[in-house]
Amino acid sequence: MIRKIKNIFIEGAISPKTIAESIGHHQHKTKIGAHNIFLGQVRADQINGKTISAIDYSAQKEIANQLCHEIREAAFSKHDLSCMHIYHSLGTVKAGEICFFVFVSSSHRPPVFESLSEIVNDIKEKLPIFGKELFEDKSHQWKVNQ
Amino acid sequence: MEMKLRYFGQLQEATGKKEEVLTDSFESLGNLRNFLLKQYPKLNHVHFKMAQNNKIDIDSSPLSGNLIDLLPPFSGG
């Protein structure tokens, strides 16, 4: 099956409503027996007495979408998944808001447990997305992934 | 050959630019990297990958693209 390259980017935070609706869209897919969801949330880290208030995300979107497509295809060939949805924020996401949403579904639970962490880790490692951490005093630093 | 360079993330701060057009010719991506490191010494402090025509590529590759992107460390999620 050839799937087309999807745009994973959403302007601003990913709302709880978007996530709830995405879950709801699967109610008619009655062969699914297991969902697994990862939600990345912006942390209000304290660094040298200053608190992060938001992250401003930018990306090389063409490359990111292409590489995400390859990650998605690899996960579908390796694991018995029914469907997969991936979204990442662009622009400003405040502390406490959701910036990253990965949703996998399958008939049974093992494929969703196994695939989700692989997909999340691959996306964080391989996609050219850049986080600028904004402090409350308007200064900033560039996010470094652990 | 004319090529467009785009700087992403913190590389925009290191170069003071979002993008620019270069008409110089370079044999490889590595040659272009060395040129840019001299042009913008602050780039020496940031690790960056290069892409040509929307594909991340290695320094030894011949420079054949007309769209070159400079990508600092990835920090999505």
- The pLDDT tens digits along chain A (146 residues) read 678 999 999 999 999 999 999 999 999 999 999 999 999 999 999 999 999 999 999 999 999 999 999 999 999 999 999 999 999 999 999 999 999 999 999 999 999 999 999 999 999 999 999 999 999 999 999 999 88
CATH (domain of B9)? 3.10.20.30
Test A130 with B10 for CB contact under 8 angstroms. Answer: yes
Q: What is the reported pLDDT for A143? A: 95
Whether B76 is covered by a domain: the verdict is no
Whether B41 is covered by a domain: the verdict is yes
Q: What is the reported pLDDT for B6? A: 98
Please tell me whether the overall predicted TM-score, pTM, comes out greater than 0.90 for this model. Answer: yes
**Residue A115 is which amino acid?**
S
Q: What is the reported pLDDT for A146? A: 80
Q: For residues B44 and B8, what is the distance between their CA atoms, to the nearest angstrom?
A: 15
Test B75 with A131 for CB contact under 8 angstroms. Answer: yes
Looking at the partner chain, which of A66, A123, A132 has a beta carbon nearest the beta carbon of B76?
A123
CB pairs under 8 A between A and B: 71
Q: What is the reported pLDDT for B1? A: 74
Test B9 with A132 for CB contact under 8 angstroms. Answer: yes
Measured between CA atoms, the residue of chain B closest to residue A87 is B77
Whether B21 is covered by a domain: the verdict is yes
Test B73 with A124 for CB contact under 8 angstroms. Answer: no
**Residue A127 is which amino acid?**
L
pLDDT over 80 (residue B67): yes
Whether B52 is covered by a domain: the verdict is yes
Measured between CA atoms, the residue of chain A closest to residue B49 is A128
Range(s) of the domain holding residue B38: 3-71
Q: What is the reported pLDDT for A2? A: 72
Average pLDDT over residues B48-62: 98
Give yes or no for A87 touching B (CB within 8 A).
no
ipTM above 0.90, yes or no: yes
Q: What is the reported pLDDT for A45? A: 95
Measured between CA atoms, the residue of chain A closest to residue B71 is A128
Q: How far from A17 is each of A24, A76, A87, CA to CA, in Å?
A: 10, 27, 14
Q: How far from A42 is each of A145, B7, B34, CA to CA, in Å?
A: 13, 25, 36
Q: For residues A102 and A38, what is the distance between their CA atoms, to the nearest angstrom?
A: 5
pLDDT over 80 (residue B69): yes
Per the listing, tokens 């799937």 go with A3
How distant is the Cα of A128 from the closest Cα of chain B, in angstroms?
5
Q: What is the reported pLDDT for A1? A: 64
Task: Name the nearest CA neighbour of B60 among B27, B36, B37, B35.
Answer: B27
Measured between CA atoms, the residue of chain A closest to residue B7 is A60
Whether B77 is covered by a domain: the verdict is no
Domain A9-142 in CATH 2.40.70.10? The answer is no
